[in-house]
DNA sequence: GACCAGGGTAACT
DNA sequence: AGTTACCATGGT
């Protein structure tokens, strides 16, 4: 039976920061303090109390928390240690960690991450969310739930294989439609077995993923970080590139390879975490100053 | 209407 | 090996 579960005394856990840090796309903001989240073929509501910061998870129960959500939400990782190590690196990193101290890196489904980040290329996050919602409604399965209606699972490869390129374009994925179909085929004919990638070193897993059309180094890094917990990776998108150039390269433009090399030596096994704090800090600041600008104009 | 978004591919030197 | 045009779509 579904109910409510509370996570109390949990530091380094901010629902908004976790969901709005660009790692997950299947959520909706309900109020300032609560979100709906679709994951693991289920729908839950996450609500966080402003002062006590305790988290309520609606539409689940204790055993499901133990079996599913605790792992998904990365509850057992010691973020106190991670943040203190990163904060000691430099002043800016310390600021980023303070700003996003409630971030956790979720352990999401490899197949869903693969398709989601193929869609992500050269798109804004809000639009990525729309595309994924369209695809789920079109090809996923309605989630049977007394409390939460109108939600759909992310389609399996078997469900998605019936999609035509036109179907996918109708979901607004544009030129990425053939990429999605190629991913589908390579999974179904077992040219790539996603579960085997957990066991491979990051570099080998990355090569396999990049044999799929539309999957380059950045997208492969995202999949490996957000689904396979390869925490040493440092996905470098346009935001991270700007932040890194400003911080560690005196503002001059540098190659992706140079940023990767620096991040690997500077952040080591914590590169993935560092990347997430920097992304969240850099992006929220940029969006904030942009908002101020447009307000001044008006 | 140009420019940008959690980039990558293919066709060029 | 290193550049560059182009790729859909929506927002500013």
Q: How many beta carbons lie within 10 A of that of residue A193, not counting itself?
A: 10
Question: Could you tell me the domains of chain A?
Answer: 4-76 (3.30.310.260), 110-226 (1.10.340.30), 238-291 (1.10.1670.10)
Q: What is the pLDDT of residues A151-170, one digit of tens each?
A: 999 999 999 999 999 999 99
Q: Which residue has the tokens 């991670």?
A: A82
pTM over 0.95: yes
Residue A44: is its pLDDT beyond 90? yes
CA of A222 to C1' of C2 (A): 25
Task: For residue A178, say whether its CB is under 7 Å from any atom of strand B.
Answer: no
**Dihedral of alpha carbons A132, A133, A137, A143, sign:** positive
Positions on chain C within 7 A of a protein C-beta: 3, 7-12
Q: How many helices (H) and strands (E) does chain A have?
A: 15, 5
Query: If you average pLDDT over residues A194-207, what whole number do you get?
Result: 98
CA of A298 to C1' of B2 (A): 21
CA of A277 to C1' of C2 (A): 32
CA A185, CA A35: separation in Å to the nearest integer? 34
Task: For residue A292, say whether its CB is under 7 Å from any atom of strand B.
Answer: no
Task: For residue A255, say whether its CB is under 7 Å from any atom of strand B.
Answer: no
Q: How confident is the model at residue A287 (pLDDT cuts 50, 70, 90)?
A: confident
């Amino acid at each position: 039976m579904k109910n409510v579960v509370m996570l109390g005394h949990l530091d380094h856990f901010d629902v908004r920061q976790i969901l709005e840090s660009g790692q997950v796309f299947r959520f909706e903001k309900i109020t300032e303090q609560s979100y709906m989240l679709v994951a693991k073929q289920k729908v839950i509501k996450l609500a966080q109390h402003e002062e006590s910061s305790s988290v309520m998870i609606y539409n689940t129960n204790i055993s499901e928390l133990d079996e599913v959500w605790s792992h998904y939400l990365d509850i057992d990782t010691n973020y106190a240690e991670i943040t203190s190590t990163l904060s000691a690196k430099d002043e800016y990193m310390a600021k980023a960690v303070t700003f996003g101290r409630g971030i956790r890196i979720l352990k999401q489904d490899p197949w869903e991450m693969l398709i989601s980040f193929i869609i992500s290329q050269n798109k804004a996050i809000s639009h990525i969310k729309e595309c994924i919602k369209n695809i789920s409604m079109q090809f996923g399965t309605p989630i049977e739930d007394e409390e939460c209606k109108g939600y759909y699972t992310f389609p399996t490869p078997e469900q998605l294989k019936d999609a035509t390129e036109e179907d996918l374009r109708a979901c607004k994925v544009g030129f990425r439609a053939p990429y999605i179909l190629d991913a589908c085929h390579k999974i179904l004919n077992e040219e790539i077995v996603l579960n085997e990638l957990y066991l491979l070193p990051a570099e080998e897993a990355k090569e396999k993923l990049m044999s799929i059309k539309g999957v380059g180094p950045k997208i492969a890094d995202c999949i490996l970080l957000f689904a396979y917990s390869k925490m040493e990776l440092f996905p470098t998108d346009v935001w991270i590139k700007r932040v890194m150039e400003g911080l560690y390269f005196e503002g001059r433009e540098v190659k992706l390879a140079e940023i990767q090399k620096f991040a690997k030596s500077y952040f080591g096994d914590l590169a993935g975490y560092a990347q997430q704090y920097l992304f969240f800090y850099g992006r929220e600041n940029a969006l904030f100053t942009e908002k101020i600008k447009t307000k001044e104009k008006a």
